[in-house]
């Protein structure tokens, strides 16, 4: 089902084609679009003219030419269901913070830097042409990080410098030039970067002599930049190339992934096995092998980490503008007086209840971290009361340290889980389902104590078992091949896990929601940190006892405690790849705001309960889509 | 022709380290043809420069002294006098780079050029052209006889058997093809050859020349070839000592383009002297 009104905020550096690639899919699925573009280039006027020609359907495409500060204004208009932002990373972050609680979903496509990995087994001359395509042409979106294997460093630098000497800058419409100008802002940014790099000890080689106040910036090659310098962390602007050496393929992968951004990259090597291994290992949205900058509207293009998680092109691009049928429209749920600095900071202290009478309760549940139950850092527990008000049990009071430990354990377990064959993953999920079934009577009695009717409790357990089995069966293998017009060779659309997924489970359906959220996350290769229902966490902890014996340690980690405090820790954690929050409206707003830290994709319920027992909401394709990300792998063919 | 190469020791490791990625080379080839278009008077200048690189060739079974004579005269006066005068280039000594004929016709070519008062070299194809599948003794004898007759350049067909079994020879020039195959000089092949020439120059300091032959018929093509050399190797290679184009009908097309530039009209085939 289409989303509705889309607000699209585009940067001035986009060409007409890129703007249309964002607008057309939205229109195609039936959404109406309002585009906001800064007036630095005439391209938006062309789009506006086209919009005006859609006479039969006035209003489906609207173009506003205005400053970027209008972005939040556009987003807060009633009726805007989704805002898609393309542009600089810091602007995206600011927008994410400004839109927390406003209502519309936010899709971010940020940054323009790309990466080129040059192995010693590459065709160096062709790779140099790849560098030209990536950084020194009018089609290149931004600067380039160039990683060169040490053994071919000298010959690559020599060829690069010779090639730079042949590049021609000039007015963009002159057919014989390679690079035009992109405005004063881009020029200044590049100039500042070069000066800073030089002051940090780098060598800068520039081709062509430009007069000092010409709008054209010469192509520049920066080398010997110390890895610890601030310039290495910052995004490389157009038209600069920052070259660094590496020794082995393993080091290349580590250096390539050691950046907060994850947009696009190319691998140059004539050894197929090595090229594929690197391509699979890179944390990027698009990887080209022995090519750079190939684009096609049928191939999903997007990024990961701080490059934003929104996609355009291919089926993923269409899903950006769709939502499951029956989902209510997004309404603003802003709570004006939410203090981001103090939300969930302190755990409200509770006086211990009076002396307990009756049977002595079971020893408190610990936290389930790293495959076993362990005591929380704070060494305290909280009581769980059943529907009669009697003491049901004690669960651990988890805090920031425990979250940190849980995320670390999840990261340690991640490579092993990703490396598992799909069949093995499916087998584990089925084994867990079987264990759950054996535990049915215990679970039913626990649920009953919290006021759930026997029939409903039984149904809940049965449905949980069924969902685990279903997701086990749906464990995806690597992905499908797309056919791209104009390319000889396949483009693989790989489905990859996000990494560590943090899930704050809802209060309703304490067992079913727990399982319904856990299963798709695991099935897609993620490792999970969960915060179960606050009022009724014990069924979840019972399931953990089975997971302790069946699943590898660290795969699933369950932390109990004050939900707001734990949500705060998870939302602010920089090393969690996605966060699903099903709790209060205030919590949802905080999660949206805090996710701007590392721009992790979030899924919040805005305080509204979900019908977990309905398949559409509890086991629909939306869960699978949110639990994985795509990587497009281009393999041009020919010898 | 330039001084003879000193040559280097054969180092097979240079060859085994070479990697060529075909799709990337194809992409570069497409790009070269699309970028760097040259227009107006600059185009006329480039076309005249292209003329000076042509090895005016006739390699047919029915060559006789009469058509060789015509060819040599055309080599001396490639563009009609009045057109050159209009461009103010009539006194710059614009001739083609060489005349290329079969060994048996070398005598005729030398005589015709002397009669025309022209000192451009005569090149001869030799060594069992075009297949190269004759005995080494006869091939060497062909070269000797052609040189005796007055040829100062020889287009040698290498023994492809030796190539395919990895036994290499050296040379002053490399040529893309004999011109007698179905597919001759194409840009992707040329790009790889030019990169090899550049590599060799960087490693040894020796400059090897380049000659595409076969399939270059239009003036637009010749401009693309010139810009390819300029992009990959630089201006140093844009000299007849290091770059030749093996062509026969190319000259007619260039002349017609020049005619159009000078007069603004399209010429009929009989407006320009026959070659």
pLDDT value at residue B190:
92
pLDDT value at residue A358:
64
Whether B179 contacts B187, CB under 8 Å: no
Is 80 exceeded by the pLDDT of residue B169? Answer: no
Active site residue B211: yes
Q: Say whether residue A639 is in contact with chain B using an 8 A CB cutoff.
A: yes
- For residue A638, give the nearest of B22, B36, B195 by CB distance: B22
Which tens digit of pLDDT belongs to each residue from B92-138? 889 999 999 999 999 999 999 999 898 999 999 988 888 888 898 99
* SS3 assignment, position A628: strand
Q: Best interface-test mutation with B: which of A126, A132, A207, A491 has the largest number of B CBs within 10 A?
A: A126
Of the two residues B184 and B110, the one the predictor is more confident about is B110
* SS3 assignment, position B209: strand
Is 70 exceeded by the pLDDT of residue A384? Answer: yes
Contact A290 B35 (CB under 8 A): no
Q: Calculate how close chain A gets to B25, using CA atoms only, in Å.
A: 6
Lowest mean pLDDT among A67-71, A368-372, B226-230: A67-71
- For residue B22, give the nearest of A121, A166, A639 by CB distance: A639
Which tens digit of pLDDT belongs to each residue from A241-275? 999 999 999 999 999 999 889 899 999 999 999 99
Lowest mean pLDDT among A350-359, A571-580, B33-42: A350-359
Whether A302 contacts A308, CB under 8 Å: yes
Q: List all residues 6 or more positions away from B19 whose beta carbon is below 8 Å from its beta carbon.
A: A121, A122, A123, A124, A270
In the predicted model, what is the mean pLDDT of residues A113-126? 95
In the predicted model, what is the mean pLDDT of residues A94-119? 90
What percentage of residues in chain A have a pLDDT greater than 90?
A: 50
- For residue A123, give the nearest of B21, B36, B38 by CB distance: B21
Distance CA A417, CA A526 (A): 7
Distance CA A35, CA A64 (A): 6
Contact A123 B35 (CB under 8 A): no
Lowest mean pLDDT among A144-158, A467-481, B11-25: A467-481
Is 90 exceeded by the pLDDT of residue A292? Answer: yes
Give the pLDDT band of residue B1 (cuts 50, 70, 90).
very low
Q: Best interface-test mutation with A: which of B19, B187, B194 has the largest number of A CBs within 10 A?
A: B19
- E-strand ranges in A290-402 read 304-305, 367-369, 372-374, 381-385, 391-396
Looking at B175, B203, B207, B230, which residue is catalytic?
Answer: B175
Residues in A closer than 8 angstroms to B30, CB to CB, are none
Contact A637 B23 (CB under 8 A): yes
Q: Say whether residue A158 is in contact with chain B using an 8 A CB cutoff.
A: yes
pTM score, whole prediction = 0.89
In the predicted model, what is the mean pLDDT of residues B248-266? 92
Q: Say whether residue A489 is in contact with chain B using an 8 A CB cutoff.
A: yes
pLDDT value at residue A357:
64
Q: Say whether residue A122 is in contact with chain B using an 8 A CB cutoff.
A: yes
Which tens digit of pLDDT belongs to each residue from A419-433? 888 889 999 999 999
**For A54-206, where are the alpha helices, taking DSSP H only?**
70-75, 89-98, 124-135, 153-165, 184-199
Residues in B closer than 8 angstroms to A270, CB to CB, are 19, 21
Tokens 């089926």 belong to which residue? A315
Residues in B closer than 8 angstroms to A126, CB to CB, are 20-21, 24-25, 28
Q: Calculate how close chain B gets to A126, using CA atoms only, in Å.
A: 6
Q: What is the mean pLDDT of chain A?
A: 89
Residues in B closer than 8 angstroms to A157, CB to CB, are none
Of the two residues A486 and B111, the one the predictor is more confident about is B111
Give the pLDDT band of residue A479 (cuts 50, 70, 90).
low
Residues in A closer than 8 angstroms to B202, CB to CB, are 158
Q: Calculate how close chain A gets to B186, using CA atoms only, in Å.
A: 16
Lowest mean pLDDT among A130-144, A339-353, A395-409, B50-64: A339-353
In the predicted model, what is the mean pLDDT of residues A465-485? 80
- What kind and span of H or E run contains A34? strand A32-37
Residues in chain B, total: 275
Residues in A closer than 8 angstroms to B227, CB to CB, are none
B→A contacts (Cβ < 8 Å), by residue, are 19-28, 35-38, 195, 202, 231
Contact A129 B28 (CB under 8 A): yes
Looking at B74, B76, B207, B211, which residue is catalytic?
Answer: B211
Active site residue B175: yes
Whether A129 contacts A99, CB under 8 Å: no
pLDDT value at residue B2:
45
Q: List all residues 6 or more positions away from B192 whose beta carbon is below 8 Å from its beta carbon.
A: B20, B25
Secondary structure of A515-573 as H, E, C letters: HHHHHHHHHCCCEEEEECCCCCCHHHHHHHHHHHHHCCCCCEEECCECHHHHHHHHHHC
pLDDT value at residue A351:
65
pLDDT value at residue A209:
65
Chain A, nearest residue to B203 by Cα? A155
Is 90 exceeded by the pLDDT of residue A41? Answer: no
pLDDT value at residue A360:
67
Phi, psi for A260 (deg, rounded to 5): -70, -10
- The structure tokens listed for A85 are 């932002």
Which tens digit of pLDDT belongs to each residue from B202-231? 988 889 999 998 889 899 999 999 999 998
Lowest mean pLDDT among A75-84, A202-211, A303-312, A521-530: A202-211
- For residue A176, give the nearest of B20, B22, B37 by CB distance: B37
- Pick from A617, A619, A594: which is nearest to A605 by CA? A617
Q: What is the mean pLDDT of chain B?
A: 88
pLDDT value at residue B5:
61
In the predicted model, what is the mean pLDDT of residues B236-263? 92
Whether A570 contacts A547, CB under 8 Å: no
Tokens 């010779």 belong to which residue? A162
Lowest mean pLDDT among A210-214, B143-147, B205-209: A210-214
- The structure tokens listed for A581 are 């929050």
Contact B19 A158 (CB under 8 A): no
């Amino acid at each position: 089902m289409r989303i509705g009104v889309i607000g699209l905020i585009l940067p001035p550096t986009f060409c007409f084609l890129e703007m249309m690639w964002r607008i057309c899919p939205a229109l195609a699925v039936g959404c109406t679009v309002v585009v906001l573009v800064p007036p630095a280039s005439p391209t938006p006027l062309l789009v506006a003219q086209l919009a005006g020609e859609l006479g039969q359907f006035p209003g489906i495409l609207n173009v506003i030419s205005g400053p970027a500060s209008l972005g939040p204004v556009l987003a807060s208009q009633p009726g805007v269901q989704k805002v898609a932002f393309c542009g600089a990373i810091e602007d995206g972050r600011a927008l994410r913070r400004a839109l927390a609680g406003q209502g519309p979903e936010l899709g971010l496509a940020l940054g323009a830097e790309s990466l080129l990995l040059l192995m010693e087994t590459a065709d160096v001359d062709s790779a140099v042409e790849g560098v030209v395509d990536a950084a020194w042409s009018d089609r290149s979106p931004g600067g380039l990080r160039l990683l060169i294997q040490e053994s071919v460093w000298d010959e690559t630098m020599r060829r690069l410098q010779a090639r730079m000497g042949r590049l021609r800058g000039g007015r963009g419409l002159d057919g014989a030039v390679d690079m035009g100008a992109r405005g004063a802002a881009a020029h200044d940014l590049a100039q500042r970067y070069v000066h800073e790099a030089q002051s940090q000890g780098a060598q800068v080689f520039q081709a062509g002599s430009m007069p000092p106040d010409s709008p054209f910036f010469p192509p520049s090659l920066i080398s010997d930049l110390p890895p610890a310098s601030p310039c290495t962390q910052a995004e490389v602007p157009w038209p600069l190339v920052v070259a660094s050496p590496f020794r082995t393929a393993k080091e290349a992968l580590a250096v390539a992934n050691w950046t907060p951004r994850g947009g696009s990259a190319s691998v140059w090597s004539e050894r197929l096995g090595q090229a594929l291994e690197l391509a699979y290992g890179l944390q990027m949205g698009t990887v080209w092998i022995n090519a750079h900058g190939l684009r096609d509207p049928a191939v999903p293009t997007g990024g990961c980490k701080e490059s934003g998680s929104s996609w355009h092109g291919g089926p993923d691009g269409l899903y950006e503008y769709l939502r499951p049928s029956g989902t209510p429209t997004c309404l603003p749920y802003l709570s004006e007086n939410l203090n981001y600095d103090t939300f969930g900071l302190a755990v409200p202290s509770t006086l211990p209840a009076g002396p307990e009478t009756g049977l002595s309760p079971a020893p408190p549940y610990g936290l389930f971290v790293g495959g076993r139950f362990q005591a929380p850092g704070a060494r305290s527990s909280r009581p769980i009361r059943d529907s009669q008000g009697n003491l049901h049990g004690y669960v651990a009071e988890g805090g920031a340290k425990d979250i940190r430990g849980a995320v670390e354990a999840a990261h340690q377990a991640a490579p092993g889980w990703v490396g598992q064959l799909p069949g093995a993953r499916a087998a584990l999920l089925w084994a867990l389902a079987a264990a759950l079934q054996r535990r049915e009577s215990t679970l039913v009695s626990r649920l009953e104590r919290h006021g759930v009717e026997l029939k409903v409790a039984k149904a809940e357990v049965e449905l949980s078992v069924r969902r685990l089995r279903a997701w086990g069966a749906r464990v995806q293998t690597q992905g499908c091949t797309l056919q791209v017009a104009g390319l000889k060779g396949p483009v693989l659309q790989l489905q990859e896990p996000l990494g560590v997924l943090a899930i704050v489970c809802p209060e309703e359906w304490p067992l079913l929601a727990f399982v319904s959220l856990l299963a798709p996350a695991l099935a897609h290769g993620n490792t999970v940190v969960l915060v179960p229902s606050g009022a009724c966490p014990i069924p979840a902890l019972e399931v953990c006892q089975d997971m302790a014996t069946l699943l590898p340690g660290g795969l699933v980690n369950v932390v109990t405690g004050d939900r707001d405090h734990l949500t705060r820790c998870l939302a602010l954690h920089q090393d969690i790849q996605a966060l699903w929050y099903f709790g209060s409206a205030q919590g949802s707003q905080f999660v949206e705001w805090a996710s701007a830290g590392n721009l992790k994709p979030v899924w919040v319920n805005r305080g509204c309960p979900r019908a977990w027992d309905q398949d559409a909401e509890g086991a629909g394709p939306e869960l699978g889509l949110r639990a994985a990300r795509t990587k497009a792998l281009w393999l041009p063919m020919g010898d | 022709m330039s001084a003879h190469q000193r040559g280097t020791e054969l180092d097979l490791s240079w060859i085994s380290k070479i990697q060529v990625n075909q799709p990337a080379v194809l992409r570069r080839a497409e790009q070269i043809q699309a970028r760097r278009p040259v227009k107006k008077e600059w185009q006329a200048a480039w076309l005249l420069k292209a003329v000076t690189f042509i090895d005016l060739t006739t390699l047919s079974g029915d060559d006789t002294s009469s058509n060789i004579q015509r060819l040599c005269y055309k080599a001396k006066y490639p563009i009609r006098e009045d057109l050159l005068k209009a461009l103010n280039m009539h006194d710059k000594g614009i001739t083609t780079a060489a005349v290329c004929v079969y060994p048996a016709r070398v005598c005729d070519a030398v005589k015709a050029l002397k009669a025309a008062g022209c000192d451009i070299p005569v090149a001869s194809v030799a060594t069992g052209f075009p297949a190269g599948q004759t005995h080494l003794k006869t091939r060497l004898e062909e070269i000797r006889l052609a040189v005796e007759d007055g040829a100062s350049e020889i287009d040698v067909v290498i023994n492809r058997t030796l190539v395919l079994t990895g036994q290499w020879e050296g040379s002053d020039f490399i040529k893309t093809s004999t011109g007698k195959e179905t597919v001759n000089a194409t840009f992707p092949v040329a790009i790889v050859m030019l990169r090899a020439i550049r590599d060799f120059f960087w490693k040894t300091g020796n400059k090897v020349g380049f000659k595409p032959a076969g399939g270059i018929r239009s003036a637009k093509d010749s401009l693309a070839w010139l810009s390819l050399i300029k992009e990959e190797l630089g201006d140093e290679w844009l000299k007849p000592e290091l770059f030749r184009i093996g062509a026969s009908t190319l000259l007619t097309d260039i002349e017609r383009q020049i005619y159009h530039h000078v007069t603004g009209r399209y010429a009929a085939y009989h407006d320009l002297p026959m070659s």
